[in-house]
Each structure stands twice: as C-alpha cells, then as structure tokens.
Structure 1
Amino acid sequence: MATNPAPKTFRVKSFGCQMNVYDGERMAELLGAEGMTAAAEGDDADLVVLNTCHIREKATEKVYSDIGRLRRDDGTSPLIAVAGCVAQAEGEEIMARAPSVKVVVGPQSYHRLPEMVADAASGKRSTETDMPAEAKFAALPKRRKSGPTAFLTVQEGCDKFCTYCVVPYTRGAEISRPFVDLVEEAKHLIAGGAREITLLGQNVNAWTGEDDRGRPVGLEGLARALAAEPDLARIRYTTSHPNDMTDALIAAHGEVDKLMPFLHLPVQAGSDRILKAMNRSHTVDSYLQLLERFRVARPDIALSGDFIVGFPGETEAEFEETLKVVDAVGYAQAFSFKYSPRPGTPAATMADHVPASVMDERLQRLQAALNRDQWAFNKASVGKICEVLVERKGKHPGQWLGKSPWLQSVHFFGDAHIGALVRVELVEAGPNSLSGRLV
C-alpha cells in the first residue's frame, strides 16, 4: 500500500444547513486536538474534508465536481475525506468512483475522523457510516473557543419521514442529547466568548430530557436553564416541526427575555392535499393557529418558514394557496426551493412531476412575495431602538455588522467591538439589511 506523510494542515469545507456548520466546527476541533492546524486562506491543505449536504439539488454529482477541483496543477491531490449526509447515503459508491478519496465518514461517525485519517496516511482507505450518535458526542473534545455566536446541536435525526426528505435515512432516528452534557457544552462556549447560542436539531423542538434534578423537560426547560447563565445574552433555536410545538415552549417566548423574538417554523406548502402527500402531519389551519399563539405570547415575534414549490402533482390552484399563506403570515424571512427528487424517498417515485419550467416560474412568483414581505418587515423596524450583537467588522473603516433580536443584519458606525451588545436606532431599511445609529 502506498503511504503519504501524516497531514499537518487541514481545511474543512461545510455545505448546507447550520447542523453541518456545527459538525464542521467539531471536526476541525478533533483535527486540531491531534496537532494539525487549519490551513491559511489561499494555502494548499494537506487534508481537505468535504462536509456534504444531501439536501442540495444534484448533491451527489456536485461532490464529485468538488473532488475534481481539488486536483493541483502538478497532478497531485490532498488527502481527501468526504463527510456528511452524501457520505452516509453514497458510502462505498464514492470509494468506487473517486480513487482520490481516502476517507468516507457519515455524520454520526465523524468522531473517528482522526483515526481514519491516520489510517489513510498509511495507505488504508476506509468507510464508516454507522449511526451511534451518543458515542459520537461522548468522543468529541470539549469546546474551547467560539465567536460571539455559536451553534449547539441538541437533537439529531428525524422520525417524521416527510416523503421528499432523506434526513431519516442519512441522520437516523431522533435522539436527544442529555441535558447535563448540553449545559456543560454551553458553559464552555460562553467561557470561550459566545454571547448568543443557537440550539440546533433536525426537529429541535422534539428535544426532551431530564434536568439536573431529574425532572422531565422539553426544549423550553433547556432554554430556561441556559438563560440562567449570566454571560449568555441570547438564545435561539432551529429548525422546528409544527407537530412538536408545545404549550410550554410557546409560553417561554413570552417569559424568557433571552429567548429571541424569532421563530423559524417550516410549512412547506399551502395546500392541505399537498401537505398530506408530503406526510407533513399538519394542516394549513393548524399551522396558522400555531403562529397566532406565538404572536399572542410574544407580539413582536418575527416569523420565518420553508417552502417547496412543484411537489409532484401540485396544480396551479394549489400553488396559489401557498401564496395565500405567505400573504396571511407576512414572513420576516423565508427559504424557498424547487422540489428535487431524492433517491430512495417516496416522492421520487410519485407520478405527475411538475415540469422544470413551471417550477421555475412558480419559484420566481413565490420569492417575489417573500422578498416583498421581508422588505416590509425591515421598513416597519425603522425607528426602533434595539440591541445589536456585533459579529464582525464592516467593509468601511469604523463600520460594524451585527444582528438585531429579529435576526436582521444591521450595519452601523461608531465605537464598538466584536461580541458587544450595543443599543442602536434603526434608521434605514434595505431588502436584506438595515442601517443603524449608535444610541
């Protein structure tokens, strides 16, 4: 077997959702604990980890394109590891099609990445796609440093089996990490500089556990425990499922000041028939009633959602029902996608797939409505005075960028520093951000 020098530098490239960002950070920490250093921007890395996402359209083929682009001008390649959901789904196929890939590791097995990289340096190619989620978290190193905002995965996997989605097959069944482990990790993040923590999960509001007194709690109990940490200023969570929303979590939005007035709750479509075909297990009416209950608990809450256009069999009238939901809610932010079949999912074998040209036209109309409402929400914010968490420097001298409580990007000039919470008057609104003035 051919051997390679043990890698000294690495680069982790993460694609897709916030959970992939979290996983990428944890893989970097694992490699750093083995003495490797992150390659500087623009420098070649000895090891490149492609942390893939299967939600992206044509995700598998894009992975092979990414692998090909890693080939250097002299014909050599770095040691390549493919991680994430495409690795989980494609496993041995990646090994067969891409000889330059030495490591394939799924999202529940990446705690073994340093060991697998060491094997690769000695000439051994390996694939690991088991799903022992608890073993993974127990093996990860303690968090040491973070920026002003940090992600904390509290729940993984999904039991909902929406007919278009691969997550139950690539991330496995729903599991909740233990309460005490999450509080400990949060404390490490806070000690490392985090002022805001976003709790992550495929269905984050499905998280359940027992608190430090042995009492059963849901996500609201975890949020209340983290809110007791004096140096933590903000708590967010994503992504939620309507069927896992509880009275206690809704109430927490009106009672826990550190729980930000922002809710991302996907609806996916505005037609009850399409929702049933998607196996979403909620109706348009039950979804809208949930949002109204949140608004009663926290009147200034900003709402966000996900939409899929062109699900198999979707008619023009059913798409227009989606536009009616958008008009009724007035989303502050939203994400919208054309339906794309995923191998192995029930929807991929359904009849009456919507033509691509029709999906394109519907997506443009949907995004026009969503963009209209996002800009309207931003305009309605002008004149408010709020706290902005400073995340980074702006493009201009003395300029700073941060987020409002409603997850809006805000830029301003003045005396500030990264990690500061500053009072800002919102003075001008654009479609994607606001300008502010220090108060």
Structure 2
Amino acid sequence: MSNKRFYIETYGCQMNFADSEIVNSILMKEGMEPVHSAEEADVIFVNTCSIRENAETKVWNRLKEFRSLKKDKGDLTVGVLGCMAERIRDQIIDQEQLVDIVVGPDAYRDIPNLLAEVDDGRKAVNVLLSLEETYADISPVRTSDNGVSAFVSIMRGCDNMCAFCVVPFTRGRERSRPLKSILNEIKQLSEQGYKEVTLLGQNVNSYKYEDIDFTRLMDEASKVDPEIRFRFSSPHPKDFPEPLLHLIAERPNLCNYIHIPAQSGSSTTLERMRRPYTREQYLDLVERMREIIPDVSLSTDIIAGFCDETDEEHKDTVSLMKIVEYDLAYMFAYSERERTLAHRKYEDNVPEEVKKRRLSEIIQQQMNIQQKNNKLEIGKRHLVLAEGESKRSSEQLSGRTDTNKMVVFDRRDFQKGDYVEVEITDCTSATLMATPIRKTSIREFYAEPALA
C-alpha cells in the first residue's frame, strides 16, 4: 500500500473538507501519496454530502464517471466516504457496483484495513457510528488549502434532531474534542503561518468538554495568537450564549461575524421543523447581538417550501429577512431526506413550482438587501486578510473583512497572508472593491479607530 497514490474529491459542508484533511493524514501515515487529479490516482475517494438531493446527484454522476475510468484502469480502487456512506451502501456497492469501499464519518481510522480487504478481492464496508470518536489525536494534513485560513473541527455529531436534517443519522450523537487538542492544533497552524481559523461543529455552542463551554473555548483559542483571527460555524439560535457576544465585542481577533441559521421566519413552520424557538425569540436574539456588537455582520440559512408551508408562512420568512437584513444568506428549496422526522411524519406536499417561486422571491430580495448593505460600506475602512489572487486578475488580490465580506483590491506590493487596511470605493451585491492603504496587523489596526 505504501507506494499507492490517492485522490480525495470533497462535496458539501466545511466539516467534510475538515474530514478529508483527517483522511489525508491517515493515508499519508501509511506511506500513500496525495495527487491532484483522479487520473493520476490508484485510489479515489469521494467524500459525500447528504444534506440535499442536488449534492447526492452530483456524487452519483461523478461515481459513474469514475466507473468508466476504472474500466480503462483495471487496478483502480474507488471509495465513498462520509454522510452518504451508510444511507446508500447497499445500492452503491451491490446494485450499481460503483465502488469498492464504503466508509462512514466515524470509521476513517479503519481505511487502511479496508483497503487491504479490497486488495484481497473483497468489497469493504465500515459505517459504524461512534459515541467517542473525535479524531482528536490526528493532525489534519491540509494539502489543498490556501495556507492562510484553516478549519478546525471542535466536535462531531448532533443531538438536535431538526425535522428536516439527516445529520444525526449520518454523523451520530454529539461529542466534543478535548480543549488541549484543539489549542495544540491552533498552535501548529500559528507556527505554519496561518492567519485565520474557523472552528467547526454541527452546533458549536453545544460544545462541552468537562467544565469547558464554547465561550471558554473561544476565549482560550483567541489567546493562542493575537494575529490569528477566529470565526465559528454553525451556532444554534436556541442556546446562543450571551457571554460569547461580550467576548467577541471585546477581543479584536474574534470576528464581528455570526452565522445564525433561521431556516424559516414563521413560528408555525419552525415548530414543524422542530426548531425550539419562535420568530419573536429569534428576532430578540438578533437585536441583542446588534446591541452588544454594533458592527456585527449576520448570515443565515433559509429553507423554502418545507412540508405544509402556506403562503402566509412564506411571507413570514420574507419579512424576517427584510427585518434582519442579512449580509449573506444560504437559501435552498426543501429537499426531503429519508429517515428524518419530516420524511416519517409529514408529506413533502409543496409543489416544486411553488418551491422554486418562493425560493426565487427570497433570493431576489436577499440580493437587493446585500446590494444596499454593501453600498453603505463605500468610504469605510476595513482590515482585510489577503487570501490570494482575484479570480479576474493576477494584478489584484482578494480577501475578506472582519465581517466576512469579500473585497478585491490592487496587488501593489502586498502578498497572500498580509493584513491590509483598505478603503471601500465601490461594490456589487457580492463583492466590495477597495483601495489598499497599508500593510498592518490586527493589534495595530484596532489600536487606531478605523476611519468612517
């Protein structure tokens, strides 16, 4: 196995990308070599997502392409990792005969043994979920990121059982990594020159290890390196800790950006979704966030056309988004997932054309809000972390503000990984354009009030 080359193709959420980095570490410890294309590889893994039907469709299509590649290259091994693994293992191995190996999110340590089974001519499967596995002792190998920003997984699984969500069934129960292992990973990233870390969990504010909660974790993480800025994703509105808001307001390297999924603006829809808060409670939380962190930027997740959703409930969602004026929203039409409560209890009875119309209305309003919000940024100064070249020109760099807004500015003498003070000069609904002022640092920039 030591001379084999492997390729991992990852779909879905940031957690999946973090998991692929764990698999990189496991395989490279066995002497395997990562490559940048499927055509170069002896072993191909597809790290999968089950959140929406569209994500699964992409994976199915890609696996069929790999089956053709396998016919041309007889000794090629193809495997599926992650959230689709347990749900479709029989279909994907026996019926479609698309893959040789299927590995669930808690069984990555077993991959070398499973590959050995495949080498012996057998199909190999391990989709067992664990109550303990956090991969806390494995240092992720980041082979394809930008060397500037990194994801650190702080917990696995979810106990919330939202009616629409398959994650508790594909990733298992909630369990948290030890604080020490998280801080050690952040220290390693600091030594490697990373400037931004996003802490990941299905519900980060449920983090609990011994007597340490999420606010304490954020406090300790931010002290590791004052020149690394921190984000987190995703918290749940039901138990968002107010002490964390005060910490973000006080600590310069904790970003003034919170992703706070609403899913719907209707209390009755939220009840069917098994989201344990009302519209009013959600809006009260948003108001409190803006009282404590006046410049906070908010983003959200919205589902259009959930089971039994009426026109009035849809209008409640539209109005919630108009009231909050999110800087960014991830918006999707409801996609029924097997095994979820919604699949067992409700009927997916909102017609597809109605879902599409409602989603289109939500998207159009959100684009208008973003355009309006971004215009208000013109003339303001921000600290931007340069993440790399702009997509349109090698003469420009792009990066994000503390509030998670994408900014493009002239390259000049600035480099990837620099903190750059910029002045916003123009915008679209998705991007800010800016003039760079100077290279600086978090401590230097926030020691002097940014010019309005």
Distance in 1 (alpha carbons) for counterparts of 2:107 and 2:195: 29
What residue in structure 1 maps to residue 446 of structure 2?
A: none
Q: Paired residue for 1:278, among 270, 273, 281?
A: 273
Write out aligned runs for 1:157-172 (5 A): 157-172=157-172
1:427 pairs, out of 425, 428, 435, with 425
Q: CA deviation at 1:391?
A: 0.9
Alignment correspondent of 1:375: 371
Letter in 1 for 2:138: L
Aligned residue among 283, 288, 292 for 2:283: 288
5+ long unaligned stretches in structure 2: 438-452
Aligned-pair CA distance for 1:143: 5.3
1:351 deviates by 3.3
Secondary structure in structure 2 of the residue aligned to 1:40: coil
State the 1:168 CA deviation. 0.8
Matched positions, count: 430
The CA RMSD measured in Å over matched residues stands at 2.0
Does structure 2 retain, via aligned residues, the 8 Å contact 1:64–1:98? no
CA 1:320 to 1:187, structure 2 compared with 1: closer, same or farther past 3 Å?
A: same
Q: Are 1:403 and 2:397 matched, yes or no?
A: no
Q: Which residue of 2 aligns with 1:213?
A: none
Instruction: Report the Cα offset of residue 43 of structure 1.
Output: 4.2
1:202-258 deviations in Å (ceiling 9; x for gaps): 001111224xxxxx2321211111111236420000011111211211221212211
Distance in 2, Cα, partners of 1:370 & 1:104? 39
Residue 52 (structure 2) aligns with: 56
- SS of alignment partner, residue 162 of structure 1: coil
Q: CA deviation at 1:270?
A: 1.1
Unaligned runs of 5+ in 1: 211-215
Give SS of 1:400's match.
strand
> Hey, what does 1:30 align to over in structure 2?
26
Q: How far apart in 2 are the matches of 1:152 and 1:27? A: 14
**C-alpha distance in 2, partners of 1:224/1:255?**
11
SS in structure 1 at match of 2:100? strand
Note the alpha carbon deviations across 1:121-141, whole angstroms, 9 max, x for none: 332321111223644514524
Secondary structure of 1:137's partner? coil
Change (3 A) 1:37 1:63: same
TM-score by length of 2: 0.90
Instruction: Give the 3 Å change call, closer, same or farther, for CA 37–231 of structure 1 in structure 2.
Output: farther
- 2:98 and 2:348 map into 1 onto residues whose CA distance is 40
Q: Does 1:153 align with 2:150?
A: no
Q: Which moved more, 1:90-99 or 1:107-116?
A: 90-99
1:223 aligns to 2:218 (yes or no):
yes
- Give SS of 1:72's match: helix
Query: What amino acid does structure 2 have at the position aligned with 1:342?
Result: R
**Where does residue 137 of structure 1 map in the other structure?**
135
Distance in 2 between residues matched to 1:352 and 1:133, nearest whole Å: 32
The answer to which of 266-275 and 43-52 deviates more is 43-52
Q: Distance in 2 between matches of 1:276 and 1:142?
A: 39
- Rate the CA distance shift 1:73–1:152 in 2: closer, same or farther, 3 A: closer
In structure 2, what is the equivalent of residue 39 of structure 1?
Answer: 35
CA distance in 1 between counterparts of 2:364 and 2:132 reads: 43
More deviation in 235-244 or 52-61?
A: 52-61
CA distance in 1, matches of 2:373, 2:33: 43
Deviation at 1:160, TM superposition (A): 1.1
Residue 118 of structure 2 corresponds to: 120
Q: CA deviation at 1:149?
A: 0.3
What is the one-letter code of the residue matched to 2:318?
Answer: L
From 72, 87, 104, the equivalent of 2:69 is 72
2:107 to 103, 106, 109: 109
Q: Give the whole-Å Cα distance in 2 for the aligned partners of 1:436 and 1:41.
A: 36
Q: Name the CA distance, whole Å, in 2 between partners of 1:85 and 1:169.
A: 9
Change (3 A) 1:333 1:378: same
* Distance of 2:57 and 2:244 partners within structure 1: 40
Q: Which moved more, 1:325-334 or 1:117-126?
A: 117-126
| 1:111–1:139 CA contact under 8 A, matched in 2 | no
Bigger mean CA offset, 412-421 vs 196-205: 412-421
1:326 aligns with 2:321: yes
Cα 1:351/1:329, change in 2 over 3 Å: same
Q: What is the DSSP-based 3-state SS (H/G/I as helix, E as strand, rest coil) of the residue aligned with 1:312?
A: coil
The amino acid across from 2:43 in the alignment is L
Amino acid at match of 2:259: H
Q: Distance in 2 between matches of 1:207 and 1:391?
A: 29
Q: How many Å separate the matches in 2 of 1:102 and 1:136?
A: 26
